Amino acid sequence: MALTVAEEKAYYERQYARFLQVSPDDLRFCPTAFLRDLDNPRKEVYERRALYAATLAALARLDLSGKHVLDYGCGTGDFGLWMATAESANVTFLDLSANAVAVCLLRAEASGVAHLCAGEARDAANLSCFPDASFDVVYGCASLHHTLKYPGAWRELLRVLKPDGALVLTETYGNNRLLNVLRRWNWRRSNLPQEQGEDVIFDDTHLAVLRQSFTTVQVRPMHLLAMAKRPLRGRYDARWVRAVLSVLDAADRALLWLFPRLKRYCGEVLVVASARTPSV
Ligand SMILES: C[S@@+](CC[C@H](N)C(=O)[O-])C[C@H]1O[C@@H](n2cnc3c(N)ncnc32)[C@H](O)[C@@H]1O
């Protein structure tokens, strides 16, 4: 059964409430520390380090200084904060959860970029607070697959993005049925509230929707065998685990070079869409 927007909101309000208790020192976002954390096996971001590093490089190429960016489904806002602190972008944090947006704004203040940041707590299916063509870039990390199930969300996203703007997505990639079975089994096993919005996994059907609205859609799938990192979560600081991950990464490089068609079965993807088709 599909999650309602109220259930999803309640779930995420609970998830983010604890960050409101954190001290300003711990809320501060430092872009160099964020980059360092990507290489630190004890940090949560280590698991997605290659995907996140590719995302930061793609965002940096957009030359964001002074541009208006919507951090779409921002959560605690790491990427929006990176764009404000490292790239001097004007960032609007958008999330269904008011707690998430409040945390992002507290973090912006603690990081000295409050003047570059704004926030809106609302359902992405109704962005009437933003005029047409408000943003040069819409960035979503693990969020578009949540919002697409709400009627009107895609139309609203396109409306607020400038016709010459870019949509950048960092997503779990869902063409691989085996991976999807394992993911769903893991969600059930971990007893998470049903779906928590994860029932939709971004895949090639979503890319087809993007291609109807953008003439340039760059897709960078990542990690095939290396998705075996997931069961090793929490153990990345063990040397043998990192050795296994290196072997899997090397195997992926060879496999995907030899058989590029396998790329669509990777478990993660970075998408950069630009140049809107005239009909939209
Ligand atoms: C998996 S979290 C990702 C958060 C963050 N981007 C990150 O990478 O940590 C998905 C986010 O999408 C938000 N979300 C879900 N449905 C939404 C909606 N209809 N409108 C706006 N945000 C929504 C949730 O509140 C949640 O913060």
What's residue 196's pLDDT?
A: 55
| CATH number of the domain to which 143 belongs | 3.40.50.150
Task: Tell me how far the alpha carbon of residue 178 lies from the centroid of ligand 1, in angstroms.
Answer: 25
Distance CA 108, CA 65 (A): 16
The pairing of strands 214-222 and 268-276 is antiparallel
Name, in order, each residue with C-beta under 8 angstroms of 212's C-beta and a sequence gap of 6 or more: 277, 280
pTM of the predicted model as reported, rounded to 2 decimal places: 0.94
- Which atom of ligand 1 has the smallest separation from the CA of 124? 20
DSSP letter for each residue of 71-107: EET-TT-HHHHHHHHHH--EEEEEES-HHHHHHHHHH
Mean pLDDT of 4-30: 93
Ligand 1 contact, 123 CB (< 6 A): yes
Mean pLDDT of 200-228: 95
- Going by C-alpha positions, the residue among 136, 118, 5, 134 that lies closest to residue 67 is 136
What range defines the domain where residue 104 resides? 5-276
Nearest CA to ligand 1 atom 11: 73
Ligand 1 contact, 8 CB (< 6 A): yes
Task: Work out how many domains the chain is built from and give that number.
Answer: 1
Ligand 1 contact, 100 CB (< 6 A): yes
Task: Tell me how far the alpha carbon of residue 93 lies from the centroid of ligand 1, in angstroms.
Answer: 11
Distance CA 140, CA 93 (A): 10
- Going by C-alpha positions, the residue among 118, 127, 130, 123 that lies closest to residue 97 is 123
Q: Is the pLDDT of residue 4 over 90?
A: no
pLDDT band at 97 (very low <50, low <70, confident <90, very high): very high
Alpha-carbon distances of 276 from 59, 78, 140, 145, 280, rounded to whole Å: 18, 27, 18, 20, 7
The pairing of strands 135-141 and 117-121 is unpaired
Task: Tell me how far the alpha carbon of residue 97 lies from the centroid of ligand 1, in angstroms.
Answer: 8
- Beta partners for 171? 269
Mean pLDDT of 242-253: 97
Ligand 1 contact, 110 CB (< 6 A): no
